[in-house]
Structure 1
Amino acid sequence: MGRRALPKIEPQLDLSAHFRTLEELPQPWNPNALFTKDAPLEVEIGSGKGLFLQNAASSCPQHNFLGIEMAHKYARFTAARLAKRGLRNALAVQGDGLRLMREMIPDNTLTAVHVYFPDPWWKKRHHKRRVLNEPFLVDVYRTLRTQGRFHFWTDVQDYFEATLQLIAAHTRFVGPLDVEEKPPEHDLDFRTHFERRTRLNEQPVYRAEFIKK
């Protein structure tokens, strides 16, 4: 299922508090330079149109959320939806999420990492391009605090099972823990737009959660 064209961003919206490029992030790492308050930080890799960031920041104002997306237009669209709702505890970043985790995030820093519906790279010779590879999963484990959680969802069973094997082989996560599928309470009551489309097409979603003990 391809992505639909994005609505235009309202020109009067000020995105300065909600959008950064990877190169604009503070080094050494300092989340207090990005958010208005010091709070537990959750990171989403591949934030797409930003539905998760919007809903998570709204429902959990006591946490900060950073979503990174490679596509510039999607990162800016996410920033616009955050700015429109005045969600100062969420930030959209344009850039490489693997590089963010590998080079910028210190050890034992994050409260949660979220990866929802990553590109499956269907052909076997392209599997090495998958986000959920051994080095990335090691970085997820390294950057999470004790009791931190890793959330992974996909609609591709092969990808799901292969990732569970990598996690078991290369990290000390406790899991996978089952994640219950909940009926939506309204039209956008889904974790991401991709989950919404998948479920409306009556296709399965594979969900898992892990805890760093």
Structure 2
Amino acid sequence: MLSTEVSFPRKIQSFIRRQGRLTAGQQHALEHHWKTYGLDPNADYDFAGVFGRHAPLCVEIGFGNGESLAQMAAANPEIDYIGIEVHRPGVGHLLMLLAERNLTNVRIYCHDAVEILEKRIPNDSLSGAHLFFPDPWPKKKHHKRRIVQPGFIALLSKKLKAGGYFHAASDWQPYAEHMLAVLSEQEKLANTSEAGGFCERPAYRPLTKFEQRGIRLGHGVWDLIFSKA
């Protein structure tokens, strides 16, 4: 069964649990594939043991329906991925994709990403961290809910190993500019853009259907990649 218990203290969250309705396929995937791919947020893991090998480890924070994560995992079998998502329909959809494609280099937490980073991801362990299209919380009174804040970036920088990177993308320009400002203030991270601003989308980040639709409508997308010295 998929555990929903939380043992961590409450704090301002960057998400609202909109569980939504599970499709029959998502429910089946949760019931039959969680034991293979799921991770318990209350347990400590040796991730090399979990994956059965020593390999670069990347985390994707808030993977949505999991399409991009599944594509990246299939295209980069030499990398191990941990996906973190609070919404069960998205978790169920990713489980379907992993089982259909017989992917073995992905594991999943269904939990608050900040708490997983704080409690379950060792310092200096991540080769990469991805945050694609987080909720921009556009209203000023909700800006405190944005996940990209100085404290979050300081935490994330501790989890990256030397040479590791953090890649964020947003289709909301004010939030992208906010992320650029916050990241630029973190002394442990350096912007990989020679111009000191946004980057071109790297080939490893798949275009989502939502993003493709936005591009057709003339909407912008802003990528940021910062690395740890």
CA, structure 1 residues 14+200, in 2 after alignment: closer, same or farther (shift >3 Å)? farther
Q: Secondary structure at the match of 2:65?
A: coil
After superposition, what is the alpha-carbon deviation per residue over 1:6-29, rounded to whole angstroms, capped at 9, x for unaligned?
754173784121223423xx41x4
- Residue of structure 2 aligned with 1:85, choices 76, 101, 104: 101
Q: How many matched pairs?
A: 202
Is 1:32–2:52 an aligned residue pair?
no
SS at match of 1:62: coil
Q: Provide Cα deviations, 1:170-201, integer angstroms capped at 9, x if missing partner.
A: 34211052532479xxxxx9343442332243
The match for 2:41 is 22
Query: Distance in 2 between the 1:55 and 1:8 partners?
Result: 23
In structure 2, the CA distance between the partners of 1:85 and 1:36, relative to structure 1 (3 Å rule), is farther
Q: Percent of pairs identical after alignment?
A: 28
SS at match of 1:38: coil
Matches within 5 A, 1:1-213: 8-9=24-25, 11=28, 14-15=32-33, 16-23=35-42, 26-27=43-44, 29-177=45-193, 178-181=198-201, 190-213=206-229
Partner Cα separation in structure 2 for residue 67 and residue 193 of structure 1: 19
CA 1:36/1:69 → structure 2, altered by over 3 Å: closer, same or farther? same
Which runs of no fewer than 5 residues in structure 2 stay unpaired? Answer: 1-19
2:10 matched to which residue of 1? none
**In angstroms, what is the RMSD of aligned CA positions?**
2.4
5+ long unaligned stretches in structure 1: 184-188
Distance in 2 between residues matched to 1:37 and 1:14, nearest whole Å: 24
Select between 192-201 and 160-169 the one with higher mean Cα deviation: 192-201
CA shift, 1:202, in A, is 2.6
Q: TM-score, normalised by structure 2?
A: 0.79
Taking the aligned partners of 1:152 and 1:182, their CA distance within structure 2 comes to 11
TM-score (norm 1): 0.85
**Aligned AA for 2:46?**
N
